[in-house]
Amino acid sequence: MLIVSPDENYIMLDVNEAYLSETNTTREDLVGKSVFAVFPGNPTDEVSKNIERTYYSFEQAVQTKQPHTMSNYRYDIPVRGTDEFEERYWTTTNTPILDENDQVIYFIHSPRNVTEIYQLQERERAGVEALKMQRKQLYATFMQAPVGIAIFRGEDYIVDLINPPLCEIYGKTVNEMLGKSVFEVLHHAKGLGYEQLLDEVRLTGVPFKAQASAAPLMRNGIVETAYLNFVYEPFYEDDGLISGVIAIVTEVTEEVAAKQYIEEAEERARLAVDAVGLGTFDLNLLTGEMSTSALFANIFGFEVPVAREEYIKAFHEDDLALWTKAHEEAKEKGVLFYEARVKWPDQSVHWARVEGRVIYNRDSEATRILGTAIDITEQRKAREEQQKLITLVANSVDLMSILRMDGTNSYINEAGKKMLGFTTAEEVLNTPISQLHAPEDYNLVQNEVLPTVISKGQWAGRMHIRHLQTGEVFPVFNNCIRINDPITGEIIGIGAVMRDQRPELAAKQAIEDSEQLLRNITTAAPTGLWMSNASGSLTYVNQTWVDWVGLSYDSQLGFGWLESILDQDREKVKQKFLRATVQQQLFEVEFRIVHVDGTIHWCLATGKPQYDKGENFSGYIGSCVDITEQKHLQQQKDDFIGIASHELKTPVTSIKAYTQILERMLLKKGEEMEAGMIRKMDAQINRLTNLIGDLLDVTKINSGKLQFNDRNFDFNELVQEVVEDLQRTTEQHQLIENLENIGIVYGDKERIGQVITNLVSNAIKYSPLAQQIVIHTQLSDNEVILGVEDFGLGIAEDKLNRVFEQFYRVSGDIQHTFPGLGLGLYISAEIIKREHGRIWVNSTLGRGSKFCFALPMRKKINK
């Protein structure tokens, strides 16, 4: 403390120790001296005005007689022995001391050194300032940061702070966002899990990071998917509590899109490579290492990529040299190309086409080849096929040419050149097609052929061409097609295939000639000739038949010929013909036709089944002979026989009666020998009677007058009667009966007896050396069967079926020694047929025969 006099010099009167030490002074420095002389102002301190302020405080204290205080003011202290000052801050009170007259005697100047406190305060203030500054800067940074930042507070995530970049990302303005729940504003993001993420960060304090997360955002009126990288950090209050979340967001939509685009482009490229079956490889020429795609391996027959050596081993040995050469050339040319065969592990051979690009380093040294491989086996095959096709075309016997649109040919094959008289290929190119035709024929080419091919794509037909050298004009069959550009579809040429028709025409002429000859022959033949197909339809009749019936050729085809047949015969012929066609058997039928002049003629038609190369029945070829004359003669013969036998019958009957009377008379007279002769006569008369009977029967059969008298009779009884009678006529043969119980049969007993008689007498007659004849009866399938078996001459196989024909007798030396007319079996067969039965024979020449017939047990009454 200082005691200072109140006069204007402010002389220091006294001082205490504390003051001295505070101000680095001694008592001598101060006492009796003016305050401001000892403590002058610091010339470097221009702002504090400490001298003025101290004067003022002193004056105040003196004038007001009240203590005056100055707080925290700067008053620097000179540093002893230097010109320097020491910065000091003070809080000082100047307290006036009064006498009894209330006059200021002196005042006490008591400064307190507050430098440290002041400096402390100052620093604090500066600190606060700096903090403020920092805040400001932070806010500026925050607001200008290129990333989006926001603070969401409370459990509703009210936007407390948000910077423009984030607003931009969200597609909102700052004002739209501030003070509102972020989900209220960005309602498209509601319910997508962001709430939970924020809650998690707010409640646990663990930050959350997301990369390229897709978020739906409404921007410019459109909801779009934005890809965002974001971080959620907890927002701590001063007290350490988490009151919200700081979100730091950057949009990476473009990067994601770009990445997707690249990925897609890569995928597309990969797909494209895969789709065309391209295998890829990367060969390091320095190390020899090669990496390949799976497809590349596949092309070489491997399932997965293998080492380069394996691939090399796969090459067909004949193509290895080619491969080496391709690689050598590649280093110079910069591109690798070869097509080589590779042998797969299964030994199958495939073609591969390998292409690559060589990559060089700075020293122009080839270091790498990048390339592709493709399986071209199919292509190769196609090329080979094409080659074959070309060979085929070149060697074709037909003319093959390609016409350019300028009217000249670009190609004519060898056959064509020869056909047209071309000698060089150049000639082909330079000769306009107009020269290849006679002028009158070229009209057709110009006006029909070419326009049709161009408009319709094709023309086929006959035309004439001209030989360039000889000038001969000859016909060809031409087949032209338009050739289109496979890409644009525009016409690029016309292909023609021409066949020289001269040989064909010559052959046709020959055929026609021979056909004419044949036609002449068949027309000249007095026989009808015909052909039918497999279904029985007539396909040909000759002129003879047409002339007979006087109808058109066409009207006779199919089934038209039947109309030419007499009504009474038509159905029979039709049925027989159709049956024969179905059974594919020889066909033979007799019928009557009406000739154009109205006369009725008998015909015998026969047909022989025909078979095609595949052994399939193809119909008949047949003839039709006019048998009217024969029929006429036969009729005359029948009539004669009829009349003759009828006329003979009466006298023979009388003769027989007289012989019997004569025999009895002679016996009475005891003329035994004469009677014996008469008996022999009677036997001969019996034979004569039988012959006449047979002849009469035949005429009856032929005229359809054979009578039948059907009734029930015991079959075996009949057999026994007949056998008994016949046993009497032979002493040599023993007739053995082998009869099954048959019972009653319905039929004409006499006629059936006649058949049995005939069979047994034949058996006796044609087995002159045998002793036995077996007659047996049998029931089978409601049929009664009778068989007569002998052990005599037998009948040759080829004659078996003919023995039932009228007047047929087996020829041969022995046979002719037996009497007969060849009518017995014919009559028997007719009888059996009329009784609805069957008759047949089995025989072996020299061994014997067995004649059988079968009759139905019950004949239908209505027949």
Write out the residues near ligand ADP by the rule CB under 6 A: 758, 762-763, 766, 790, 792-793, 795, 803, 808-810, 815, 820-826, 849
Closer Cβ to ligand ADP, 352 or 825, answer by number: 825
Q: Is the Cα torsion angle 17, 20, 21, 25 positive or negative in sign? A: negative
| Residue 805 DSSP SS3 | coil
**Shortest gap between Cβ of 847 and ligand ADP (angstroms)?**
10
Closest approach, Cβ 730 to ligand ADP, in A, equals 14
Kindly give the residue spans of alpha helices, DSSP state H, lying in 540-621: 543-549, 553-556, 567-583
Separation CA 355–CA 333 (nearest Å): 12
Choice between 490 and 813, CB closer to ligand ADP: 813
Smallest separation (angstroms) from ligand ADP to the CB of 596 = 41
Q: How many other β-carbons are positioned within 10 Å of the β-carbon of residue 853?
A: 25
User: Closer CB to ligand ADP, residue 697 or residue 835?
Assistant: 697
User: Do the beta carbons of residue 107 and residue 77 sit within 8 Å?
Assistant: no
**Residue count of the chain:** 863
Cβ pair 15, 24 in contact under 8 A = no
Among residues 419 and 760, whose Cβ is nearest to ligand ADP?
Answer: 760
- The smaller minimum CB distance to ligand ADP, of residues 725 and 805, is found at 805
Side-chain-side CA neighbours of residue 15 (13 Å): 22
Token pair for residue 771? Answer: 């002793």
Question: Is the Cβ–Cβ distance between 660 and 682 less than 8 Å?
Answer: yes
Angle, helix 628-669 to helix 672-702, in steps of 10 degrees: 160
Task: Work out how close the CB of 706 gets to ligand ADP at its nearest, in angstroms, rounded to a whole number.
Answer: 16
Q: How far is the CB of 786 from ligand ADP (least distance, A)?
A: 14
Q: 680: which strand partners?
A: none
What Å distances lie between residue 89 and 17, 113, 129, 482, CA to CA? Answer: 19, 6, 21, 117
Q: List the structure tokens of 411.
A: 């190609």
Specify the residue, 32 or 768, whose C-beta has the smaller distance to ligand ADP.
768
Q: Between residues 336 and 810, which has the closer beta carbon with respect to ligand ADP?
A: 810
How many other β-carbons are positioned within 10 Å of the β-carbon of residue 735? 19
Report the nearest approach of ligand ADP to the CB of residue 823 (Å): 6
713 and 747 in contact (C-beta within 8 Å)? yes
Q: What are phi and psi of 846, to 5 degrees?
A: 85, -10
- Residue 482 is given by DSSP the state E
DSSP assignment string, 84-119: -EE--EEEEEEEEEE-TTS-EEEEEEEEEE-HHHHH
Query: Nearest approach, Cβ of 827 to ligand ADP (angstroms)?
Result: 8
* Nearest residue (CB) to ligand ADP, 711 versus 802: 802
Least distance (Å) from ligand ADP to the CB of residue 783?
22
The closest of 588, 539, 543, 589 to 566, measured between CA atoms, is: 589
Q: How many CB atoms lie within 10 A of CB 7?
A: 11
Q: In this complex, which beta carbon is closest to ligand ADP, that of residue 313 or of residue 816? A: 816
Nearest to ligand ADP of 249, 764 (CB atom): 764
Min dist CB 647 to ligand ADP, Å, is: 22
What's the min distance (Å) between Cβ of 767 and ligand ADP?
7
Closest-approach residue to ligand ADP (CB): 820
* 8 A C-beta contact, residue 50 and residue 41: yes
